[in-house]
Structures are given as C-alpha cells and as structure tokens.
A = this chain, B = another copy of it.
C-alpha cells in the first residue's frame, strides 16, 4: 500500500520505519529541506519531500503534526490529499481535530497512539515505538465502517493494542490522566518556588529529591504542548481542575481537623486505586 505520513518527528518517523518493515511504500512529508535530508539519511520513508503533492499517490494518509497544525491545516495540505484516501491523525486531543477533518475528508477517522519518549524531531523516531503501546481510534456515527476496519488492521500491524472510543470520551479521559497531571505538576513547581523567604527557597532547592522530581516531571515539559492542550481541551481540563481542587480541600480539612482515621483511609484508597491505572 502507498501510505503518506505528514510530519516525520518522533511519531511520524517511527510509523515510517515500521511501515517499511511491513513492506508498505511510505511517502513522507517534512516541513523543510534540512529535516528532509535528515529523514532521508535515517530512511524514515521511501520517498521524502517538502512538497505535499507526493500524497496524491497514497491510499492512506497519516497526519503526524502538532495539534495547532491539525486544527488549522494549510490549504496546500488539504488540496493534496486524495478524497478517496483514508486519513487519520495522531494528535493528543480528538474533538476539535475530528470536527475539522471530517468536513475536509469523508474518510477521516481520528486516532491517538499512547506512546512517546522525551525526544522529539526527525532524529527521534525508532521502529519499535508502538510495540505493546495502546492506540486509541475515535470513530463517530459519521465514520465510514470500511475505512475504520482497514485503519484498525493497519494500526494493529504496527504492534499496538487498539481501543475504539468516541472523540468526546477520549478527551474527557485524557484530561484526567494526561492533561491534568501537566497543570497540577506545574502548580507544584510554582508553589515550591514562589517564596519571599530566600533561606527557605535555597533550602528547598537543595532538599528536593526523587519524590519532587517525579511529581514535577510533566510540569517541566514543553510549554507549547501544554498550551495546545489547554486551547483544545479547555472545558474538560477546567472540569478536572475543579474536581482536583475539591479533593485537595477535602484532604486539607481532614488534616486540619486531625481526622487521622479518614486521612489514613484516603491514602489507603489512593494507594489501592493507583494499581488500577498502573499495571
């Protein structure tokens, strides 16, 4: 099959490497010549170009672009994708991307691979990124059944376990387990470092250890990603922050009232429940 990939960063590049192993012909588009050269050197696709027109050969097109370029796609990109092609994206929010693309392409179905590393860019992709990962596919009532089946088969072949859910439910779930941790973790860093007492601040910098490092990791991530998530999953993130503040108020009251039995129950509950998320 001729498969187009727009964007050859961590996700796009990894898809390109794996699809070639599966004997597909991969047409990769990069945003500039420097990246095109690097992508060619790394053999991320069979054909690499900065020109969207190569997509005209493809029966499947995978949009591996940042969220902002997915919700506001360029006219040249839109024009280059055949109307008969199955199109998907890999963005970490789904509702605004699905709304945008189902108007553009009748065979569009959104998706989201839950895989990643700290690295990004054209140097980052590697063949086995999706082995044993979870890949969410988000059809809605308008989605073409045949395209959904073909897309699911293709993604399975990349090595991932597939989950089908609606764009709406996807965005609610990732708000809780992926986006909320980012904003929460950012607030923790701000709380620890916004302090008029310089001695306390200096001591805090020195004493921070693995607990702080882990809890603050995603709050120290790419600010542009956090911004794009807030812009495109605003209501769900606000709702999650509200729930979180309620839970913080509850634990605060428990500690204030020295209600140690309730506090112990609270901490035992979350210790047990964490194992439902982390296997």
Contact = CB atoms under 8 A, between A and B. Distances in A.
B178 A247 contact: no
Interface string A246-279: 0111011001101010011011111101111110
A70 to B, nearest CB: 17
Given A192-B177, A273-B189, A215 B212 contact: no
Interface string A54-72: 0000000000000000000
A248 B244 contact: yes
Given A212-B177, A278-B212, A252 B242 contact: yes
Contact of A240 (B191, B199, B205): B191
Number of copies: 2
Contacts of A184: 184, 188, 215, 248
A153 interface: no
Contacts of A252: 238, 241-242, 245
Interface in A218-256: 218-224, 226-227, 230-231, 234, 237-238, 240-245, 247-249, 251-252, 255-256
Interface string A200-213: 10011111111111
B215 A183 contact: no
Interface of A: 114, 116, 134, 136, 163, 165, 169-170, 172-174, 176-178, 180-195, 197, 199-200, 203-224, 226-227, 230-231, 234, 237-238, 240-245, 247-249, 251-252, 255-256, 258, 260, 263-264, 266-271, 273-278
22 contacts: A116-B209, A163-B207, A170-B203, A173-B203, A177-B192, A185-B215, A186-B267, A187-B244, A189-B277, A190-B266, A190-B269, A191-B243, A193-B273, A194-B247, A215-B215, A215-B218, A220-B271, A224-B264, A238-B256, A241-B251, A242-B252, A245-B249
